[in-house]
Amino acid sequence: MLGSSRRRSRAGLWFAAFTIASLLMLLASQTAPATTLQQASARVLDPVRQAIGGIGQGIGGLFGTIGEIDRLRGDNDRLRQQLAAAQQRIAELAEAAQENDELRDLLGLTKALDMQLLPVRVISRDPSNFTWEVGIDAGTDDGIRPDMAVVGSAEGAGALAGTVVSAGTDTARVRFVVDTRSTVISLDQRTRALGLVKGQPGGQLVMTEVQATDVVTNGDAIVSAGLALSNDERSSYPKGLLIGQVQAIQQDSNALTKTVFVRPALDFRSVDRLLVVTDFTQG
């Protein structure tokens, strides 16, 4: 039984080998039956070749897409860097233009005002605005001393900014007129009505002690009077420097005086350059 089974297996293997060899010879020949068999085989295998070809093209396309994405990412990074550099340059040019405008205004003031003026830059300030004082980049080595008046530019006009309250060798502190500790004898430029301009919380100004009979109108310019308080020999403030404009008037309860609310001429939150009055002749 076992020998018979082995003989059948060997016979089957010989038959299969013979069949495969016959097919190979037939496919390799140029006879009509061979051609027919080749064509039939080609039709049977064609979908397989197309599928394999499609897979190859898909893989190639995938790698091409990945390469394109990398290229675009690199281009975007370069464009982003160029945009950041351009924005930085624009910011620098805008800052330089603003600084030139400020310097031009200050230069005009030095020519228009009959005073000795020292240009300075604000180098420190209290961002909370609880105290209206700033640091400037000049001190006693530059001839600055306490009680000197400080001027700014209000659209080309000389505006009173405040006074020097302390000075070191190369820096000093300036107290603005809007500080609650500041008081300036002032007058209505149109009607010559006198009063005391005082700083208020929040960077505002009021003019007190104005006689009830004095005429003051909204929009009037309030300027420094160049007068000293009774316990001073001479005012620290030159005469005629703009302080602000009248924006409201309130009659006091005593009926003898009135309070005038004044809008400051300078924007003390953003002022960057000032002029220290190192000497002046009082008119």
Please give the mean pLDDT across all residues of the chain.
79
Q: What does the pLDDT average to over 205-220?
A: 95
Q: What is the pLDDT of residue 81?
A: 76
Q: 169 burial class (0-12, 13-18, 19+ CB within 10 angstroms)?
A: exposed
Q: What does the pLDDT average to over 81-85?
A: 72
Q: What is the pLDDT of residue 177?
A: 96
At 88, is the pLDDT very low, low, confident or very high (cuts 50, 70, 90)?
Answer: low
Q: What does the pLDDT average to over 176-202?
A: 94
- Between residues 42 and 123, the one the model is more confident about: 123
- Between residues 153 and 130, the one the model is more confident about: 153
Which of 51-55, 67-71, 193-197 is least confident? 51-55
pLDDT digits (tens, 9 = 90+) for 219-264: 999 999 988 876 666 788 999 999 999 999 999 998 899 999 999 9
Q: What is the pLDDT of residue 157?
A: 79
Tokens of 30: 């140029």
Q: What does the pLDDT average to over 127-141?
A: 89
Instruction: Report whether 24 contacts 17 (CB < 8 A).
Output: no
Q: What does the pLDDT average to over 80-109?
A: 60
Q: Is the pLDDT of residue 108 over 70?
A: no
Q: How far apart are CA 20 and CA 16, in angstroms?
A: 6
- Between residues 70 and 9, the one the model is more confident about: 70
Q: What is the pTM of this model?
A: 0.64
Which structural domains are found in the chain, ordered by start? 113-280 (2.40.10.340)
Q: What is the pLDDT of residue 96?
A: 46
Residue 198 Cα distances to 28, 191, 206, angstroms:
115, 20, 6
Q: What does the pLDDT average to over 62-82?
A: 74
Most confident by average pLDDT, 30-34, 205-209, 234-238:
205-209
- CA-based R_g, the chain, Å: 47
Q: How far apart are CA 164 and CA 242, in angstroms?
A: 18
Q: Is the pLDDT of residue 196 over 60?
A: yes
* Strand segments (E) across the chain: 115-125, 133-136, 149-154, 157-167, 172-176, 183-188, 194-200, 204-211, 221-224, 242-251, 257-264, 273-280
Q: What is the pLDDT of residue 227?
A: 87
At 4, is the pLDDT very low, low, confident or very high (cuts 50, 70, 90)?
Answer: low
Q: What does the pLDDT average to over 208-218?
A: 94
